[in-house]
Amino acid sequence: MKILLTGVTGQLGWELQRTLMTIGEVIPVGRSVNNPNLQMDLTQLDTIRRTIREVRPDLIINPAAYTAVDKAEKEPELAMAINGIAPGAIAEEAKRLGAAVIHYSTDYVFDGNKNTAYTEQDQPNPQNIYGKTKLAGEQAIASVGVPHLILRTSWVYSLQGKNFLLTMLKLAQEREEIRVVDDQIGAPTWSRMIAEATAQILSQNPQNIYELLVSKGGLYHLTASGQTSWYGFAKTIFELDDRKSDRKLQRLTAITSKEYPTPASRPAYSLLDNQKLSTTFGLILPDWERSLELVMAFNN
């Protein structure tokens, strides 16, 4: 099986590239790939279409996205091109070839006004440009009518790329105090867990992924179990970090979102209910703290 994979320089794409090797032949494409046949800039619909037609994959997996949540407020057209429009073109090309699509989305499609975990039936109501563009991407894929999986995840981190974990570790070497918001609740999710869950779904019928996604495809929530705030996440990072002597940090202070205004507003509560994933595929991701322990053990 040929798998065309975008976003391999990103947190999730990097993990997917390794994990999917057991499932099929992974063909990484991207905007900085040297081979012109594998170049794919998601702002350029012609490169999307040309490359997919060239590679002729059986499955397209698209973790690439415009993920700079605050910057998106100033670059709405660019964010929409990458997150909202490109996924539709990918889905159309997949349909044309008889291929299936796996795409990733975000907890930020919700407004955060609930106080119990969001299910796939809950109405999205994104509060920022990033969330709006990601919702547009979900809708674009669903409307094409290609067999697909859309996996909504949250608070993604890993030991590479730009993420909250690495930001905290860096700031701890530079500052005596770090102030972190304690009134936004979600589930920090290690990118490797998302990649492994994706591979486990595919391994339920590796001979016929198309059929698998015809029968069981659709929208799923896929996050780590448990919940915390950004402050709780930071506190646990520093408890698990063995390199305490390298730190300048003296105080980790819990603050409110009001005390830390950002260009993009974020949902106060964006926990996702993973029941559908568990019922359909028998998959439950580990608690966020267990994953973080593993990641920090690699880092220490």
Tokens linked to 182: 């304690």
Q: Which helix (H) or strand (E) holds 152?
A: strand 148-153
Find the shortest distance in angstroms from Cβ 221 to ligand NDP.
11
- Rounded CA-CA distance 239/293 in Å is 10
Q: Is 218 left (phi over 0), alpha (psi -120 to 50) or beta?
A: left
| Token pair of 270 as six digits | 């964006």
CB of 75 to ligand NDP, least distance (A): 11
- What residues line the site for ligand NDP (CB under 6 A)? 6-7, 9-13, 30-32, 40-43, 63-67, 82, 104, 106, 134, 153-156, 161, 191
Closer CB to ligand NDP, residue 50 or residue 247? 50
Cβ–Cβ under 8 Å, residues 188 and 287: no
Query: Helix or strand or coil: residue 251?
Result: strand
- Going 30 to 11 to 265 to 134, the CA torsion angle's sign is positive
Residue 63 or 126 having the CB closest to ligand NDP: 63
Q: Which of 104, 108, 130, 157 is catalytic?
A: 130
Instruction: Tell me whether residue 153 or residue 274 sits nearer to ligand NDP (CB atom).
Output: 153
Mark whether 104 is an active-site residue: no
Q: Would you say 275 and 201 are in contact if contact means Cβ atoms under 8 Å apart?
A: no
Percent helix / strand / coil, the chain, rounded to 5: 45, 20, 35
CB of 83 to ligand NDP, least distance (A): 7
Q: CB of residue 223 vs ligand NDP: minimum separation in angstroms?
A: 9
Closest approach of ligand NDP to the CB of residue 108, in Å: 7
Tell me the Cα Rg of the chain: 19
Q: How far is the CB of 251 from ligand NDP (least distance, A)?
A: 26
Residue (134 or 266) nearer to ligand NDP, CB: 134
- 241-247 LR contacts (CB < 8 Å, sep 24+): 241/169, 241/172, 241/296, 241/299, 241/300, 242/296, 242/300, 243/300, 246/173, 247/172, 247/173
Query: Residue 24 has which token pair?
Result: 């099929």
- Taking CB positions, which residue lies at the least distance from ligand NDP? 10
242/286 with CB nearer ligand NDP? 286
The residue among 172 and 272 lying less far from ligand NDP, judged by its C-beta, is: 272
Among 88, 58, 116, which residue's Cα sits nearest to residue 272? 116
Which of the residues are catalytic? Answer: 130
